[in-house]
């Protein structure tokens, strides 16, 4: 899960996905990161922590980290939140195989739409709730896909 600073959207996506993987007893690695270093080592935005807690998920232990080229090897899928994140990931991809792993997270719910998940950082709590709802919908589809692959 990739966003700009790894303190708003991608930690929420990671937290939601971890819970759903656990709920379905699916053993899979999930992580999140960003491309801007100004929040490296920081906790998620407090508003994100709150919306996650209201939905039974604790993301307060998360610490922001930067995307690493090694993430292309470590993960089967790399989900981005918007066009800027996609361009950032593409800028460090070594080959077409790396980019085969990359997609907009909302394409899981709306294939081919490249719908961005708006960054709620400069918004209010309602923006974080909307972000949660979008990511919850997309991660449902990811879980469905994983279950179908396992069948």
| Residue 29, token pair as written in the block | 């690695």
Full-model pTM: 0.96
SS3 (DSSP) at 26: coil
Q: Please, which pLDDT band fits residue 16 given cuts at 50, 70 and 90?
A: very high
Model pLDDT, residue 110: 98
Residue range 75-105, pLDDT digits in tens: 999 999 999 999 999 999 999 999 999 999 9
Q: Which of 8, 9, 18, 82 is catalytic?
A: 9
Query: Does 8 qualify as catalytic in the annotation?
Result: no
Domain 2-139 = CATH 3.40.50.12780:
no
Report the alpha-carbon angle 61-41-10, nearest 5: 65
Query: Does 33 qualify as catalytic in the annotation?
Result: no
Query: Does 3 qualify as catalytic in the annotation?
Result: yes
Model pLDDT, residue 1: 99
Model pLDDT, residue 60: 98
> Do 94 and 72 touch, CB atoms closer than 8 A?
yes
Q: Which of 45, 82, 88, 119 is catalytic?
A: 119
* Distance (Å, whole) CA 72 – CA 59: 24
CA-closest candidate to residue 8, choices 106, 114, 125, 110: 125
Q: What are phi and psi of 99, to 5 degrees?
A: -70, -20
* Distance (Å, whole) CA 63 – CA 60: 8
Residue range 100-125, pLDDT digits in tens: 999 999 999 999 999 999 999 999 99
Give the C-alpha distances (Å, rounded to integers) separating 110 from 7, 17, 80, 85. 25, 18, 14, 18
Tally of CA atoms within 13 A in the half-sphere of 62 that contains its CB: 33
């Amino acid at each position: 899960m990739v966003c700009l600073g790894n303190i708003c959207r991608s930690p929420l996506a990671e937290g939601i996905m971890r819970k759903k993987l656990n709920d379905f007893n699916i053993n899979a690695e999930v992580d999140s990161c960003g491309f801007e270093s100004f929040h490296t080592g920081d906790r998620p935005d407090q508003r994100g922590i709150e919306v996650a807690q209201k939905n039974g998920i604790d993301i307060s232990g998360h610490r922001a980290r930067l995307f690493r080229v090694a993430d292309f090897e470590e993960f089967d899928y790399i989900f981005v939140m918007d066009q800027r994140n996609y361009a950032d990931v593409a800028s460090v991809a070594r080959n077409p195989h790396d980019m085969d792993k990359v997609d907009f997270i909302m394409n899981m719910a709306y294939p081919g739409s490249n719908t961005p998940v708006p960054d709620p950082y400069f918004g209010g709590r309602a923006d974080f709730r909307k972000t949660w709802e979008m990511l919850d919908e997309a991660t449902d589809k990811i879980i469905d896909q994983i279950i179908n692959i396992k069948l």
